[in-house]
Amino acid sequence: MRRMRHIGTGAAAALLLTTGLLTGCTSDPGSTDRTCADTPNGTPVAPPGPAATGTNIATNPEIATGYRSNMTAVRTRSFAVSSANPLATQAACRVLADGGTAADAIITAQAVLGLVEPQASGIGGGAFLMYYDASTKSVDAYDGREVAPASATENYLRWISDTDQTPPQPNARASGRSIGVPGVLRMLDLAHREHGKQPWRDLFAPAVTLADQGFAISPRLAAQIASSAADLARDDNAKAYFLQPDGSPKPAGYQLTNPAYSKTLGAIASDGVDAFYTGAIARDIVDATATTSGGRTPGQITLEDLARYQPKKRTALCTDYRAHEICGMPNPSSGGITVAATLGILENFDLSALKPDNVDRNGGKPKAEAVHLISEAERLAYADRDKYVADSDFVPLPGNSPDTLLNKDYLKQRAGLINPDRSMGKAQPGDFGPVPLGTGPQPPEHGTSHISVVDEYGNAAALTTTVESAFGSFHVVDGFVLNNQLTDFSADPTGTDGAPVANRVEAGKRPRSSMSPTLVFDRAPDGSRGQLVYTAGSPGGSLIIQFVVKTLVGMLDWGLDPQQAVSEVSFGAANGPVTGIGGEHPAIDATDRGDHDRLVQRLRELGHQVSVDQQASGLSALKRESDGWIGGTDPRREGAVMGDTR
């Protein structure tokens, strides 16, 4: 097999990486070497208008930035990568073209995303990874979630101290209290040691080059900087990096360099992850967390907290759905279990008879009956999630196993609660006897990204990665953003019934997440795991579950290709009366709150309170075909799919 000539770390890479949004990397003209080419309409999302820049961060993950209509799925031969930014996709694709594994590629993609999409993810955050090793046919679930410091009490986010019961200042998120011990780098190191092929050091070279030489701020990043300018201005490092000297936001097209990030990545590349978790970088993290500048309440992360952090390999959560096996992330992510529960309920209905109308490149328009059934199933699944799911190292699931919540007979009973003619509005959780827990809803994540990768060896990676809210805690240190992941805990440790909340803060505990990286397999004739056929995942906070469910249903039940499935109308519900219908989609008439849209009208007739607010998913999906792979990336962000195109 002829290989693409190596351009990942040399002068040619530096030249290509400084040109802004890349459109492809190719081998020598006329050769038969493999190429990395992106989707033909993978152009950046247009900057938001005035309404979008005022998006309510309490209900929307990051900022809404429009919709790219009529995107076309990308077909590749032996490898593919999809991420939320073309520069990250490009760099990861080069790793695959040079013979790297999916584990290698996600490290490079994450390093670049931390630079070009810092509002969403980075080395100061955490991640969950689902990884398929084709040689052993095994699925590994890697937990790189942040943890609370050893000194944290259940009131850590609630008030400054037991003697000073005032809230953290200026608020829990922007204080040091929101910052958890970052986990993504140790997790990626573990995955690389077990599944990597390329040298660790080489995988950071594209991001180092890009940080030194500079990149053009994308429209999406520019919009988020503008929306977050007041909060970024509180932190001297964030202010200097993201804002102009007069305090105005740096605009789209501004050539941004980050020598501090280059230095940080250089140390990690040369000395391994201990360079991050011990030594000068660790001291800088502790100091930044503990700052009281601007009247901020300090956090309590110590050098010992950083040095002690360990990622965890957990048992992948694999369940049946029709003719497929769905493998997702177990808790402390609630994503895998809630996606599986929703699909387990939906398995009792014939969704194939409810395919969208007028299917086109944008996925068509879903039928009201399908949206109703899927939203009702999600309400039931979220009800159990809200009550029972947290970090199982601290709070056991009912029956001490996800099998209790995912039992087929139980889910069939839950399906029987769905009235085809009327929304239930709010579902009640299942009754598993007395449990010492109260119900605690999860605040939405806002700063998250997703990467899907398949390599030439048949391995696959689905990585969902986050700093929690857009720009995390607004603390910038050594060129990267520190997370505010601890605000994913319930700040109040007790529920309305006085019982302790499952997702309360505890020392060393991991906050509950909704991240749902997913791998899908065919079932072999003997019932065993067959061939890997799909990967999927998305950012979007607590809506991630809904985004992934609609994409899986689109591909598995409705026969949509990956681009159509991620492009189709976003819809779904958490456990409340509101059903979301993404008003950014061209098939939805969002004027006058959707009053003129027939889908919205019909759902309201069924008792749904319908919102047509724009939804800012960042889905990616890959599907195996007989002669290679086909992939899609979310038109609501600025991502691209690349691979050795066919």
pLDDT tens string 11-26: 223 323 333 333 333 3
* pLDDT attached to residue 123: 98
Q: How many CB atoms lie within 10 A of CB 201?
A: 14
pLDDT band at 46 (very low <50, low <70, confident <90, very high): very low
Arithmetic mean of pLDDT, 602-620: 96
Q: Which of 65, 76, 297, 448 is catalytic?
A: 448
Which H/E stretch holds residue 328? strand 324-328
pLDDT band at 40 (very low <50, low <70, confident <90, very high): very low
Mark whether 72 is an active-site residue: no
Give, in degrees to the nearest 5, the angle at Cα 392 between 553 and 434: 95
User: Buried b vs exposed e over 254-293: b needs ≥16 C-beta within 10 Å?
Assistant: bebbbebbbbbbbbbbeeebbbbbeeebbeebbebbebee
For 178-214, the pLDDT digits (tens) are 999 999 999 999 999 999 999 999 999 999 999 999 9
* pLDDT attached to residue 28: 30
DSSP classification of residue 47: P
Q: For residues 21 and 499, what is the distance between their CA atoms, to the nearest angstrom? A: 51
Which structure tokens are listed for 401? 């196993």
Q: Looking only at Cα atoms, what is the longest distance across the chain? A: 73
Number of H helices, E strands in the chain: 19, 22
Arithmetic mean of pLDDT, 424-436: 83
Contact 57, 616 (CB under 8 A): no
The mean-pLDDT minimum among 12-16, 92-96, 166-170, 348-352 falls in 12-16
Which residue is listed with tokens 């693409």? 4
* pLDDT attached to residue 435: 57
pTM summary value: 0.92
* pLDDT attached to residue 34: 55
Give, in degrees to the nearest 5, the angle at Cα 400 between 397 and 406: 65
